[in-house]
Structures are given as C-alpha cells and as structure tokens.
Amino acid sequence: MDNSSVTERDLILLEKIEQNPDITQASLASHLGIAVGTVNWHLKRMIDKGYVKVRRLERKKLRYIITPEGIALRARLTVDYIQTSFRMYRLVRERMVEVLNEVEKAGYQQVILRGDGEIGEVCHLTCMEREIEVITQGNVPELEINGLKIELRMPGNDEAKTNVEQDRENG
C-alpha cells in the first residue's frame, strides 16, 4: 500500500468521522471501497498516534472522536491533497498541450479522446480551451489516456506516440 493511498484514506476517514462520529467500520469500508479489516487497521493506527479517540456507547456501538491532533492532521492532509491535485492538473494539462500542438501542426481541429475520470476531464477541458472539437468517430487523431500518459495516434498510423517519445523527437 503506497503512502499516498494511506494518507488519502486517512483524510477520508477523518472527514467521515467528523460528519458522523457514530459511523460504523462497515459503513466506512463501504465509503472507501476497502475491507472492514483495512478500516480497522487505519483506525487503530490513528488511535495509537492520538488522532482519534474511541468511546464505547453500547456493547457493540462505538463513537469516534477526532482529537485536536487529528484536526491538525486533517488540515495538513487536505492541503497536501489540494497541492497534489494541482500538480497533477498542471502536469496533465502541460502534456495535453504538447499533444494538441502536434495535432494542430498536422492540420487537425478535431480529435477522438479515449479515457475518462479526472484525467480525461482535464484533457477534455484543454481541448475546449484550444478550440479543438472532441468527436466520437472519424478519420482524426486519437488521444488515449493511460494513467498520466497521453498516447497520440494519427490517422493511418497504427503506432501510438507517447509524450516521452515526443520529447525525444523534439529535444
């Protein structure tokens, strides 16, 4: 488990606990899309570090209380998350601009964009800013999003060019 997923989960756990101190571990697991045992591990770790306290309400009912240290952690994690998101946005946008420069240089004003999620949204917005129309089919360049990589396929060329390969050609 990488550190970024741990801190992101910690942030979500702290937010959910703040919204509902009586939330169950099963409910937290459902929100995060992870196993209850993993939630238990995260909570025990946060309790051991003094970020969260637990009070027993009934035999099987617990209440989680975020300590002042936990509030400070949540604030730090929120700032880190925002900074990381902006770095990712700038990186994807920069890569997309490079790819769109190639598209425009080849004389196209339309592309097919394959990929979704947050990266796909940034790519789509960059197309809109550059007044490049995103269409679903046609004999136009295809941009495929794989993680943070954007692959460009020009019409009539089966080989995809990644940003790294473009950097080598241009550099």
The predicted structure's pLDDT at residue 99: 94
For residue 80, give the 3-state DSSP assignment: helix
The residue range of the domain holding 31 is 3-66
Q: Is residue 80 part of a domain?
A: no
DSSP 58: S
pLDDT of residue 57: 84
Tell me the pLDDT tens digit for each residue of 40-97. 999 999 999 999 999 988 888 899 999 999 999 999 999 999 999 899 999 999 999 9
What CATH number is associated with residue 44?
Answer: 1.10.10.10
pLDDT of residue 162: 59
Q: Give me the pLDDT at residue 68, please.
A: 96
- Do 63 and 57 meet the contact criterion of CB atoms below 8 Å apart? yes
pLDDT of the residue at 1 = 45
Q: How far is CA 42 from CA 48, 149, 153, in A?
A: 10, 31, 43
For residue 23, pLDDT over 70 is answered with yes
For residue 115, what pLDDT is reported? 86
Instruction: State yes or no: pLDDT of 2 exceeds 80.
Output: no
Q: Does residue 76 sit within a domain?
A: no
What pLDDT digit, counting tens, does each position of 107-146 carry? Answer: 999 999 998 888 999 999 999 999 999 999 999 999 999 8
Q: Encoding tokens for residue 120?
A: 């796909």
Cα gap 11→42, rounded to integer Å: 11
Q: What is the DSSP letter of 160?
A: -
Looking at residue 148, what is its pLDDT?
Answer: 82
How many domains does one find in the chain? 2
In a domain, 122, yes or no: yes
The reply to whether 152 and 96 lie within a common domain is yes
- The reply to whether 110 falls in a domain is yes
Is 164 a residue whose pLDDT tops 80? no
Q: Is 126 exposed, middle or buried (0-12, 13-18, 19+ CB in 10 A)?
A: buried
Verify that 99 and 150 share a domain, yes or no: yes
Average pLDDT over residues 147-155: 89
Which distant-in-sequence residues (6+ apart) come within 8 Å of 113 by Cβ? 120, 123, 124, 127, 134, 142, 143, 145
> Does 59 share its domain with 104?
no
Asked if 23 contacts 64 with a C-beta cutoff of 8 angstroms, the reply is yes
Say if strands 62-66 and 52-56 run parallel, antiparallel, or are unpaired: antiparallel
Does one domain contain both 30 and 100?
A: no
